[in-house]
Structure 1
Amino acid sequence: MTIRCAVISFAFVAFFSLATAQEREARPRISFEEVLRREDANKDGKVTKEEFKAAPRLFERFDRNKDNVLTSEDFAGQPARPNGERIPGRNGGNAPEDVNVLRDVVFGTGGGRDLTMHIVLPKLSASASSPGPAPAYVWIHGGGWQGGTKDGGVGQVVPLVREGFVGATIEYRLTGEAAFPAQIEDCKCAIRYLRAHAEKYNIDPNRIAVGGSSAGGHLVALMGTSAGVKEFEGSGGWADRSSAVQAVVNLYGPTDFKAFVTTKGFESHNRAGSPESKLLGGGEVASNTEGVKRVNPITYIDKADPPFLIIHGTADKTVPANQSEAIHEALKVAGVSSKLHLIEGAGHGGPQFTQPEIRSMQIDFLTTVFKTRLETDD
């Protein structure tokens, strides 16, 4: 039986587990409540093709009774996901049994709708020592700012949760819904939420790190350099709290779009309709001088920025390595601690980034910055 893999340009892709095509058609892994929350523009309890912003083939997959409208009938048998509660037996879908996952916790609003995160907590044994407030590691997903979901981030934060961190993986508005700066506004809102609820989740509000890959790498880099930039704060909630972060792990994220789209082999990213163009609101990228400057994390660097760990593949065919080299050099010039690690021959993600030494590099960086390891008794 064949596994069908598809790249879907919208935030629902990770709700599907690897299964046969027939199983996926019959059992969509997203709840109807989540579809309504994202897609029901007129709030009438159903979603038409016109309202559905994702790929048409995804609508067809959800529309099990083929009546061209998504209703609760199409999602019969799928469990609802109450805010902040675990689904018995599911544990966050891709999370191991030694952590607890609080799913779809509403952390704020963006564009008039709720924004959610998964919070990943350590499951300590009865004999474990009682830890004090823990550092947090917040994962920002990639997907060209136009796709991806927070679900894949659960696996990204688990290794840090095992080292004494509280993990979180967040959603943000994609370019099909809103152009920049909506994405960074939502990310900053998530940080403010965690600070506002630090006691509830046992978080040390002075030790919050962010990590992300590709488009997520761009957003975490921008979070690291734009503390205090009021135009990026948005109005999603918790305005009395800071959105500053204390460490950044940037995996192959874009930075300087002008250098990006003029690099040999990457010129197609300059065209209207490219992911970078969509982020900027449309049109040719290089000619949008102000927009390119505005989205560039390098624009906002100063000596007060947190330490960075930057990892990129030398054979990346999606984002050139010069993007990571540029921000690394700019951080060093400003006197900010930055480590750049280039993986020889690695592409845009892939197995080289999951090797033990690369995983350990990220864990060691964050545990060293925050000087923490989880202490448990055998």
Structure 2
Amino acid sequence: MLSPALLAQLRQAVQPDPAKQPLPAPQLLHPGTRSYSDIEFAAWEGYRPLLMDVHLPATAGPAGLVVYVHGGGWMRGSRRRFPFAVSTFTEAGLALACIDYRLSAEAIFPAQLRDVYAALSWLAARGSELGLDTSSVLLWGESAGAHLAALAGLGARDAAGEPHAAATEPRPAVAGVVDWFGPADLPAMCDPADPHLREAQLIGGPIGERLAEARAASPVSHVGPDAPPFLIMHGTADSLVPVTQSQALAAALTRAGAEVELITVPGAEHGWLGMDDTAPLVASVRNFAEKRLGASRCRTADRAIEEQGK
């Protein structure tokens, strides 16, 4: 029988601890950025390693951080699919960390939330090596990613009211949450008997049979007076996630005394499909991030170059 020490050595040889792995070399993937790709931030036994990409301004100095969580109904999607230009944020002195999480066919909830917490813990531990200011971060997600960003921002607990295991690790404070058309109240939006719905796949069974789990997976269940500021954006013609979901979350935040802005976009479908120009929506996110992360950390590249030349 292998000794515990030897077993630990073998595990480390097969799957090194993500917290101790060397960082990749920076690449020039987007205008005005330094990008670090395929950073492994979690390696749960029995699952694929989880990766993130970090995009930073080309100029030196601690950068405020936006953590982006992709959509896809918890069933598909990738950290490399996002509806904005990276340079929109890096030119404003902001960094982006785009993260993966386990999909619902790989693991049921709360695995996905655990993965978001793990990414935040990795950034808290090693973000300074990349030139990030991780004293606080802004969380941003679309659709399923918005659901996870909202839960993480609210410090969501499990169905028994206990903190999720990964949530006990040190992680940055959440300065704000941007929620693009995310589900907020699973029992209110789903057929309770249908086992094939995306939401049922997420929690491991029909909503009606797993009501406690569905409520625990609903951001509205975790709203409290300590909620961070929220910017919620949703199309009025969304046929996948009704705009009433965002209205319910905004109302719950308002009742709790939290700061929230709800922007409804007339006629917009899920994913802003059919919209000719989403640049103003992305600009609103950037402005919200600059405000929440501190204008002193959000300098343009031109301003940083001017300062270096003095």
Scaled by the length of structure 2, the TM-score of the pair is: 0.81
Runs of 4+ in 1 over 4 A off after TM superposition: 154-157, 227-230
Shift of 1:242: 2.5
Are 1:101 and 2:35 counterparts? yes
1:232 is aligned, of 157, 160, 164, to 164
Distance 2:256 2:85 in 1: 30
CA RMSD of aligned residues (A): 2.4
Q: Which amino acid aligns with 1:225?
A: L
Tell me the distance in 1 between the aligned counterparts of 2:247 and 2:131. Answer: 36
Q: Which residue of 2 aligns with 1:364?
A: 287
Displacement, 1:286? 3.4
2:230 is aligned with 1:308: yes
Please tell me whether residue 288 in structure 1 is matched to residue 210 in structure 2: yes
Secondary structure in 2 matching 1:234: helix
Q: Which has the higher helix share?
A: 2
Change (3 A) 1:136 1:292: same
Contact 1:160 1:363 survives alignment (8 Å) = yes
The C-alpha deviation readout for 1:76-110, integer Å capped at 9, x for no partner, is xxxxxx962356xxx4xxx4231121110011223
Q: Report matched runs for 1:49-68 at 5 Å.
A: none
State how far apart, in whole Å, the 2-side matches of 1:337 and 1:298 are: 15
Aligned counterparts of 2:184 and 2:139: Cα–Cα separation in 1: 16
- Structure 1 residue 209 corresponds to structure 2 residue 143: no
**Aligned AA for 2:55?**
V
Matches of 2:276 and 2:114 in 1, distance apart?
A: 28
Hey, what's the Cα distance between the residues in 2 that align with 1:249 and 1:334?
18
Return 317-326 or 108-117, whichever deviates more.
Answer: 108-117
Query: For residues 274-332 of structure 1, what are the alpha-carbon distances to aligned partners after superposition, in whole Å with 9 as ceiling and x for unaligned?
Result: 110110112x2234210111101111111111110000000001100011001111011
Q: Any idea what SS the aligned residue of 2:43 has? A: strand
- Residues 353 and 360 of structure 1, relative CA distance in 2, 3 Å threshold: farther
Q: Kindly tell me the number of residue pairs found equivalent between the two proteins.
A: 276
Would the aligned equivalents of 1:136 and 1:166 in 2 still touch at CA under 8 Å? yes
AA matched with 1:369: R
Please tell me whether the aligned partners of residues 142 and 217 of structure 1 are also in contact (alpha carbons under 8 angstroms): yes
* 1:325 equivalent in structure 2: 247
Give, in angstroms, the shift of residue 227 of structure 1: 5.9
Distance 1:167 1:327, change over 3 A: same
Retained in 2: the 8 A contact 1:189–1:233? no
- What's the counterpart of residue 304 of structure 2? 376
Relative CO higher for 1 or 2, CA cutoff 8 Å, sep ≥ 6? 2
Query: Residue 140 of structure 1 aligns to which amino acid in structure 2?
Result: V
The aligned residue for residue 66 of structure 1 is none
User: What is the distance in 2 between the residues matched to 1:358 and 1:117?
Assistant: 24
Mark the CA change 1:316 to 1:96 in structure 2 (over 3 Å): closer, same or farther. same
Encode CA deviations 1:19-78: one digit per residue, 9 max, x unaligned: xxxxxxxxxxxxxxxxxxxxxxxx9xxxxxxxxxxxxxxxxxxxxxxxxxxxxxxxxxxx
What is the Cα deviation at residue 243 of structure 1? 5.6
Output aligned runs, 1:230-309, within 5 Å. Answer: 231-234=163-166, 240-242=169-171, 244-261=173-190, 267=191, 271-282=194-205, 284-309=206-231
* Separation in structure 2 between the aligned mates of residue 353 and residue 258 of structure 1, nearest angstrom: 33
Change in CA separation of 1:253 and 1:156 when aligned onto 2, cut-off 3 Å? farther
Distance 1:248 1:111, change over 3 A: farther
- Cα deviation, residue 150, structure 1: 0.6
Gaps of 5+ in 1: 1-42, 44-81, 125-129, 262-266
Deviations 1:121-175 (A, max 9, x none): 1113xxxxx53x2211011000110100111149465422221122110110001
Does the CA contact (< 8 Å) of 1:149 and 1:171 recur in 2? yes
